[in-house]
Structure 1
Amino acid sequence: MTAVPEEPAWRQRAVERSTRAAKLRAEQRVQRFLDSAQELIAEKGTTDFTVQEVVDRSKQSLRSFYQHFDGKHELLLALFEDALSTSAAEIREAASGMSDPLESLRLAVDMLYRQSHPSPGVQRPLFSDFALQLLVKHPAQVATAHIPLLTLFTELIEQAAEAGAIPAGRPRRQASLVMQTIMFAAQAHGVPADSHSHPVTAEEIWQFCLGGISGVPATAGRSAAG
Structure 2
Amino acid sequence: MERSTRAATLRAEQRVQRFLDAAQELIAEKETTDFTVQEVVDRSNQSLRSFYQHFDGKHELLLALFEDALSATATEIRLATADVDQPLERVRIAVEILFEQSRPRPGLERPLFSDFALRLQIEHPDQVATARLPLLAVFTELLAEATSSGVIPINRPRNQAFLVIQTITFAARVNDVAINGDGHRVTIDEVWQFCLGGISGA
Which structure would you say has the larger RCO, counting Cα contacts within 8 Å and 6 or more residues apart? Answer: 2
1:187-224 deviation digits (Å, cap 9, x = unpaired): 112211122241111111000000111126xxxxxxxx
1:202 alignment counterpart: 188
Q: 1:189 to 1:113 in 2, by over 3 A?
A: same
Stretch moving more, 160-169 or 205-214: 160-169
Stretch moving more, 164-173 or 182-191: 164-173
CA distance in 1: counterparts of 2:37 and 2:108, whole angstroms: 21
Aligned residues: 201
1:133 matched to 2:119:
yes
Tell me the amino acid that sits aligned with residue 180 of structure 2. Answer: D
User: Which residue of 134, 148, 166 corresponds with 1:162?
Assistant: 148
CA distance in 2: counterparts of 1:149 and 1:126, whole angstroms: 17
User: Which residue of 31, 35, 52 corresponds with 1:66?
Assistant: 52
1:184 alignment counterpart: 170
1:145-186 deviation digits (Å, cap 9, x = unpaired): 111110111111111112121113311111000000000111
Superposition pairs of residues 141-160 of structure 1, within 5 angstroms: 141-160=127-146
1:28-84 deviation digits (Å, cap 9, x = unpaired): 110000001011111111101111111110011111100100000000110011111
Report which of the two structures shows the higher radius of gyration computed on alpha carbons: 1
2:104/2:176 contact within 8 Å kept: no
- Secondary structure of the 2:113 match is coil
CA distance in 2: counterparts of 1:37 and 1:121, whole angstroms: 17
1:115/1:126 contact within 8 Å kept: no
Superposition RMSD in Å: 1.6
1:27 matched to 2:13:
yes
CA distance in 1: counterparts of 2:194 and 2:73, whole angstroms: 22
* TM-score between both structures, scaled by the size of structure 2: 0.94
CA distance in 2: counterparts of 1:159 and 1:17, whole angstroms: 41
1:40/1:49 contact within 8 Å kept: yes
1:76-131 deviation digits (Å, cap 9, x = unpaired): 11001111111101101111110000000000000000011235747x87622111
Stretch moving more, 70-79 or 136-145: 136-145
User: Which residue of 62, 71, 84 corresponds with 1:98?
Assistant: 84
1:162/1:168 contact within 8 Å kept: no
2:75 alignment counterpart: 89
List alignment gaps of at least 5 residues for structure 1: 1-14, 217-226
1:84/1:126 contact within 8 Å kept: no
